[in-house]
Chains A and B, each alone.
Chain A
Amino acid sequence: MNKVVNDAKEAIRGIADNMTLMLGGFGLSGIPENCIAALVESDVKGLTCISNNAGVDEFGLGLLLKKHQIRKMISSYVGENAEFERQLLSGELEVELIPQGTLAERCRAGGAGIPAFFVPAGYGSEVADGKEIREFNGKMHLLEHALTADFAIVKAWKGDTHGNLIYRHTANNFNQAMATAGKITIAEVEELVPAGTLDPNQIHTPGIFVQRIFQASSLEKRIEFVTTRS
């Protein structure tokens, strides 16, 4: 049951050109920094990346964009990244924008074996184009399909050798749902401990969803907008 690998380079073994990846995080919070760095180094390309955001120019997924390793982004919000906008406008990059709650639920459904579901978000907007529409309880809903990925890459605060994960504060975000939806799920954690150390009552992601786990090193944990009160 030991799922521990040495580092990000070993963790991403098997990620090949044109695969679909899920990457946890909201903005730069809770992103798998070590795995992103390893992917940049690997030169893998043609990736479809499912991630709420696309990083910033010099950090997060922005690093993969800069090297033209991403063919398509599936996200809810992609501001804060000038190179992204340039590639989008020039047609180098394909982008599918999805309402944030629908994106989270599509990942959750993918992991939970629910192929499709109805939600009201996007009704009457361009998001509804080409989708089946049905009325429930007097309200219009869109049929949305589940998302899965060849690899889901998540970042957790604490994890154990069985792959059980605990996230911290708002760094959980998309990690918990995405961890369930990868054919292979990789977890990079700030603190890797032996099985039996974490309180089983506090686990967010049970280890069954995780295939590879490693102790992250030298995380920068960059803050996008430092805002303070006086």
Chain B
Amino acid sequence: MPLDKNGIAKRIAQELHNGYYVNLGIGIPTLVANFIPEGMEVILQSENGLLGIGPFPLKGEEDPDLINAGKQTITYIKGAAFFDSSTSFAMIRGGHIDLTVLGAFEVSEQGDISSWKIPGKMVKGMGGAMDLVASAKNIIVAMTHTDPKGNSKLIKSCTLPLTGVGCVKRIVTDLAVVDVTNDGFKLIERAPGVTVEEIASKTAGKLIIEGEIPEMAL
């Protein structure tokens, strides 16, 4: 069975480590916050100026001065810090963020990513995505393996306008965990009940399959 959005988020949460500073993008990446293991301390950064994102507020406690990068109302945790946008991107550009999780339209064998523009259809802007992918030490992409029409999103080279080049390290999809290596995509894990053949047939770029591929432990 392919994973749902929460399943993808749950698998990505296994990549977190105690003491990590993490930037989660909009969409599936945001859900990762719901699966941080009990007892693990992870500080979430919001690029509009907060280290220490807390849960969504209770009804009636929303604060217009307290939002995340998706412009949703949020809260902050004990020990949080607020700062301006240039300081926020100093954290990002300076390599102080341990892990960045973001969505994508396409990822290439070389780790190039397209995530911000579909010519003629959607031109909303890149927001902080280009800054994040250009400087993050470790980038995980969270996305479905194929688009709604069934076309593979793991491809030889990106067809849509690029967000960054050679930056993605790992991709977690509804079907698999795939690493980007010097020799192409490498299959690391498969979603429970999903076969290696299905993953291979839905991966348009070169996919390296070595030995027995374990199922994700969720």
Contacts and interface: CB of A to CB of B under 8 A. Distances in A.
Contacts, number: 181
B65 A78 contact: no
B84 A99 contact: no
B203 interface: no
Given A223-B62, A227-B56, A227-B73, A124 B126 contact: no
A108 interface: yes
Nearest to A224: B71
B55 A29 contact: no
Nearest to B69: A26
Nearest to B124: A79
Contact of B125 (A97, A122, A123, A175): A97
B134 A76 contact: no
Interface range on chain B: under 10, 10 to 19, 20 to 34, or 35 or more? 35 or more
Contacts of B73: 223, 225-228
Contacts of B199: none
Contact of A124 (B47, B50, B112): B112
Interface string A141-167: 000000000000000010000000001
A222 B93 CA distance: 31
A39 B58 CA distance: 36
Interface residues of A, number: 55
A42 to B, nearest CB: 26
Interface string A211-223: 0000000000111
Contacts of A204: 84
Interface in B97-148: 112, 123-131, 134-135
Interface stretch (B161-169, B176-184, B209-217): B161-169
Given A105-B89, A124-B112, A222 B64 contact: yes
* 6 A-B pairs closest in CB distance: A101-B89, A124-B165, A101-B131, A79-B124, A176-B84, A104-B85
Interface of A: 26-30, 52, 75-80, 85, 88, 97, 99-105, 107-108, 119-127, 157, 167-177, 204, 221-229
